[in-house]
Amino acid sequence: MIIPYDALGNLQVETLNNLIKEYLFTQVEDGSFSEMNDQQIAAMIAQCKHALKVGELLVEYSEEDESISIRHKHNIINSQ
Protein backbone atom coordinates (compact mmCIF):
# COMPACT_ATOMS: atom_id res chain seq x y z
CA MET A 1 0.00 0.00 0.00
CA ILE A 2 1.38 3.41 -0.97
CA ILE A 3 1.30 6.02 1.80
CA PRO A 4 0.19 9.41 0.41
CA TYR A 5 2.74 12.23 0.69
CA ASP A 6 0.31 14.36 2.70
CA ALA A 7 0.09 11.63 5.36
CA LEU A 8 3.85 11.88 5.95
CA GLY A 9 3.20 15.21 7.66
CA ASN A 10 1.62 13.24 10.51
CA LEU A 11 4.97 11.61 11.29
CA GLN A 12 7.41 13.14 13.73
CA VAL A 13 10.29 14.81 11.89
CA GLU A 14 12.80 12.43 13.48
CA THR A 15 10.77 9.41 12.36
CA LEU A 16 10.63 10.60 8.76
CA ASN A 17 14.33 11.47 8.79
CA ASN A 18 15.20 8.01 10.11
CA LEU A 19 13.09 6.40 7.39
CA ILE A 20 14.94 8.48 4.80
CA LYS A 21 18.33 7.59 6.32
CA GLU A 22 17.41 3.91 6.10
CA TYR A 23 16.58 4.40 2.42
CA LEU A 24 19.88 6.22 1.86
CA PHE A 25 21.84 3.39 3.53
CA THR A 26 20.36 0.97 1.01
CA GLN A 27 21.46 3.20 -1.87
CA VAL A 28 25.13 3.40 -0.87
CA GLU A 29 26.92 0.13 -1.50
CA ASP A 30 30.49 1.13 -0.71
CA GLY A 31 29.92 2.31 2.86
CA SER A 32 30.76 5.92 2.03
CA PHE A 33 27.62 7.09 3.83
CA SER A 34 29.39 6.76 7.19
CA GLU A 35 32.12 9.12 5.98
CA MET A 36 29.70 11.99 5.32
CA ASN A 37 29.34 14.87 7.73
CA ASP A 38 26.06 16.04 9.23
CA GLN A 39 25.67 18.83 6.67
CA GLN A 40 26.00 16.42 3.74
CA ILE A 41 23.52 14.01 5.30
CA ALA A 42 21.07 16.86 5.93
CA ALA A 43 21.37 17.86 2.25
CA MET A 44 20.67 14.28 1.15
CA ILE A 45 17.64 14.10 3.45
CA ALA A 46 16.34 17.36 1.96
CA GLN A 47 16.77 15.94 -1.56
CA CYS A 48 14.82 12.83 -0.57
CA LYS A 49 12.04 14.93 0.97
CA HIS A 50 11.77 16.85 -2.29
CA ALA A 51 11.70 13.59 -4.28
CA LEU A 52 8.90 12.35 -2.00
CA LYS A 53 6.99 15.59 -2.52
CA VAL A 54 7.17 15.41 -6.32
CA GLY A 55 6.43 11.68 -6.41
CA GLU A 56 9.80 10.34 -7.57
CA LEU A 57 10.11 8.42 -4.31
CA LEU A 58 7.16 6.75 -2.61
CA VAL A 59 6.58 5.37 0.87
CA GLU A 60 5.25 1.85 0.75
CA TYR A 61 3.70 -0.09 3.63
CA SER A 62 3.83 -3.87 3.33
CA GLU A 63 0.86 -5.49 5.03
CA GLU A 64 2.49 -8.88 4.60
CA ASP A 65 5.47 -8.21 6.87
CA GLU A 66 4.19 -4.98 8.47
CA SER A 67 7.14 -2.92 7.30
CA ILE A 68 7.49 0.50 5.76
CA SER A 69 10.09 1.62 3.25
CA ILE A 70 10.92 4.25 0.69
CA ARG A 71 11.19 3.04 -2.88
CA HIS A 72 11.71 4.68 -6.22
CA LYS A 73 8.48 5.04 -8.17
CA HIS A 74 9.81 2.95 -11.07
CA ASN A 75 10.66 0.04 -8.76
CA ILE A 76 7.11 -0.06 -7.43
CA ILE A 77 5.49 0.20 -10.86
CA ASN A 78 7.75 -2.55 -12.27
CA SER A 79 7.04 -4.92 -9.37
CA GLN A 80 3.26 -4.74 -9.71
Q: What is the DSSP string of 5-45?
A: GGGGGGS-HHHHHHHHHHHHHHH-SSSGGGG--HHHHHHHH
Number of structural domains in the chain: 1
Burial of 8 (C-beta count, 10 Å sphere; 0-12/13-18/19+): middle
* Identity of the residue numbered 34: S
Which range marks the domain in which residue 60 is found? 2-79
**What is the pLDDT, as a whole number, of residue 31?**
62
Which CATH number does the domain housing residue 8 bear? Answer: 1.10.10.610
Q: What is the pTM of this model?
A: 0.85
pLDDT digits (tens, 9 = 90+) for 8-42: 999 999 999 999 999 998 887 766 667 788 899 89
Sign of the C-alpha dihedral, residues 55, 67, 1, 71? positive
pLDDT digits (tens, 9 = 90+) for 37-58: 889 989 999 999 999 999 999 9
